[in-house]
Amino acid sequence: EVQLVETGGGLIQPGGSLRLSCAASGFTVSSNYMSWVRQAPGKGLEWVSVIYSGGSTYYADSVKGRFTISRDNSKNTLYLQMNSLRAEDTAVYYCAGDSSSSRLDYWGQGTLVTVSS
Amino acid sequence: QSALTQPRSVSGSPGQSVTISCTGTSSDVGGYNYVSWYQQHPGKAPKLMIYDVSKRPSGVPDRFSGSKSGNTASLTISGLQAEDEADYYCCSYAGSYTWVFGTGTKVTVL
């Protein structure tokens, strides 16, 4: 059974940094396409970033230059390093993955990031 | 990267059919056959229902179907059931290895 478990969320002041983790079991992070998707409270889903199986990374304009997606193959874990956080980054962050880049079949339960002073 | 446009809500009685539209542009929905649909119940993670416009993952009932015409994709739920009441989001490839979600539609079973 595939499990994706996000950790690392919390309350952070504007301008601060946070690193989210997504530990996978039953699923090999390095062999699949892994994404971060966020959802602001009471709002819709927003695609944030993807890392391809070959290692290429891509970002939404809203986070480009501030967020970095990466993975640790030895730990089978996906990361999202978030810098220069803003109030509008407040959201539940989900990690998701699939063997195809055109779909997201496996999702974690999400971790809440709150950016507030 | 503007969000795709979906109706805020749709409703139907049990057994009826409802269709949710997802309107984009020629740079996203109209330009690629990479539209997917996700169902999200309150407090839960999204669930993949349709991918590549009209393909169904294993385990998804055949009551759910997808299609596309021009810049608009659609999700149809036939034989509506109480457990189908949820939020639904479309998602499309938007070029340059980026993706865009729709604004979301709340489906209510009357």
B102: contact with A, CB 8 A cutoff? yes
pLDDT tens-digit series, residues B42-55: 999 999 999 999 99
Distance between CA atoms of A20 and A50, rounded to whole angstroms? Answer: 14
pLDDT tens-digit series, residues A38-82: 999 999 999 999 999 999 999 999 999 999 999 999 999 999 999
- Residue B109: pLDDT band with limits 50, 70, 90: very high
Tell me how many residue pairs between chain A and chain B have CB atoms under 8 A apart: 62
Amino acid type, B109: V
**Which residues, other chains included, contact A65 with Cβ-Cβ below 8 Å and sequence gap of 6+?**
none
pLDDT higher than threshold 90 for residue A101: no
% of chain B at pLDDT higher than 70: 100
Chain A residue numbers touching B36 (CB-CB < 8 A): 102-104
Minimum distance, in Å, between the CA of residue B110 and any CA atom of chain A: 22
pLDDT at A55: 95
pLDDT at A99: 86
Whether the Cβ atoms of residue B88 and residue B20 lie closer than 8 Å to each other: yes
pLDDT tens-digit series, residues A8-38: 999 999 999 999 999 999 999 999 999 999 9
- Residue A5: pLDDT band with limits 50, 70, 90: very high
Q: Which two tokens stand for residue B109?
A: 């079973």
The average confidence (pLDDT) of chain B is: 97
pLDDT tens-digit series, residues B79-97: 999 999 999 999 999 999 9
Exposure of B2 by Cβ count < 10 A (0-12 exposed, 13-18 middle, 19+ buried)? exposed
CB contact under 8 A, A94 and B97: no
B104: contact with A, CB 8 A cutoff? yes
A61: contact with B, CB 8 A cutoff? yes
- Residue B1: pLDDT band with limits 50, 70, 90: confident
% of chain B at pLDDT higher than 90: 99
Minimum distance, in Å, between the CA of residue B46 and any CA atom of chain A: 7
